[in-house]
Amino acid sequence: MTGPLVECVPNFSEGRDAKVISAIGDAVSGVSGVTLLDIDSGEDFHRSVVTMVGTPEAVLEAALASTSVALESIDMRQHSGEHARIGAVDVVPFIPIRDVTMQDCVRLAEAFDEIAAERFGIPIYLYAEAARTPSRQRLPDIRRGEYEGLEQKLTDPEWVPDFGPTEFNPRSGATATGARSLLIAYNVNLDTDDKAAANRIAGILRTSGVLRRDEVGEKIIGSDGRPERVPGRFDALQAAGWMFDDSTAQVSMNLLDHGTTGLHTVTEAIREEAEKVGLSITSGELVGLAPLDALLSAGRFYHAEVDSASEADLVQAAVSGLGLDILEPFDTGARVIEWAAEGA
């Protein structure tokens, strides 16, 4: 591909019905100027993460086409899964890759919202760089209360959608759309079925940390009326404890800036915190794709002979060190963004 490139990574609340997932992928592949790089589906999360790249105009068209299929196929009244969500088309982020500015992606998000709100009649919130108020910059804040609390949330003047109706649509829920930097979705599995243990580790690491509590366990409220927090160890990191399957808890993360907090950095910190409570890491899991620089950085940490290692050697060292090939084979040609785009 040559010319301007935008990545879009919509998350759909369907991870179990292969026909629906395939139809969503076909909607993306059917748009000229877009390459479908990956579909990562999880049954326990009941969620599919679709990664596409292409020209800005084509990516917008593909995002709308896949949204249409998802809204026709997914009924949120029947949905339950481990991952937080507010709707059938849960989030649609636009990400600048080449010869495209962040402001260009903000305009793409706004264009998506305007068209989708009119065409599909769904409430839509702008988040991240496209947010119009500080309270909507963070996706977890928009998702707070999840789908089950959405009907009540829509009655709150503070949470009037940026686009679309304020009425609750029980079938489709709501959508968040925005523009953001490249994000790496990465999970680390532990040898325990204790979700609370994974969540405690997540609280120690994530930027937002944990609530500060008094000696009887009550939240401490600051002078601004908000609960005080104990900051986490790392910047640019979102994390929570989830279940990978019935017997495996995981620390589920979004690395918002891998140059600030890298894959190997969080992995080794999780290993350290897990060992303190008698637990071990069993595997790593990359959701979707990752940029080459992020894996090279991890590879330099894990490779024994960095000076003589090629890029391919360093990437393989990262795969092994992070345990990305334990759950299933890891195809670097398909999972590294730059290599996948070149192959396409």
pLDDT attached to residue 312: 96
Q: Which of 151-155, 211-215, 317-321 has the lowest mean pLDDT?
A: 211-215
State the Cα angle at 157 between 143 and 173, rounded to 5°.
40
Nearest Cα to Cα of residue 251 among 206, 204, 189: 189
Rounded distance, CA 159 to CA 178, Å?
Answer: 16
Q: Is 106 helix (H, G, I), strand (E, B) or coil?
A: helix
Which CATH number does the domain 184-343 belong to among 2.60.410.10, 1.20.58.1880, 3.40.47.10, 3.30.70.670?
3.30.70.670
Does the pLDDT at position 17 exceed 90? yes
Question: Above 80 in pLDDT, residue 330?
Answer: yes
* Average pLDDT in the chain: 94
Retrieve residue 149's tokens.
């609390």
Topology, domain 5-179 = Formiminotransferase-cyclodeaminase; Chain B, domain 1 (3.30.990)
Phi, psi (rounded to 5 degrees) for 34? -125, 140
Residue 13: predicted pLDDT = 97
Interval 84-101: pLDDT, tens: 999 999 999 999 988 899
- The DSSP 8-state label assigned to residue 227 in this structure reads B
Predicted confidence band at 1 (pLDDT cuts at 50, 70, 90)?
low
Mean pLDDT of 145-170: 96
pLDDT of residue 344: 55
Domain boundaries along the sequence of the chain: 5-179, 184-343
**C-alpha dist (Å) from residue 32 to 54, 59, 85, 95:** 9, 9, 30, 19
pTM above 0.85, yes or no: no
Contact between residue 101 and residue 7 where contact means Cβ atoms under 8 Å apart:
no
Q: Using one digit for the tens of pLDDT, what is the confidence trace for 104-135?
A: 999 999 999 999 999 999 999 999 999 999 99
**What average pLDDT does this structure show over 17-22?**
97
Residue 217: predicted pLDDT: 81
Known catalytic residues are 83
pLDDT band at 218 (very low <50, low <70, confident <90, very high): confident
pLDDT of residue 213: 85
Handedness of CA 43, 338, 186, 232 (dihedral sign): negative
Helix axes 102-120, 56-73, angle to 10 degrees: 30
State the burial class of residue 325 (Cβ atoms within 10 Å of its Cβ: 0-12, 13-18, 19+): middle
* Helix or strand (DSSP H, E) at 341: helix 337-343
C-alpha separations of 22 from 87, 139, 230 in Å: 19, 27, 43
> With pLDDT > 90 as the criterion, what percentage of the chain qualifies?
82
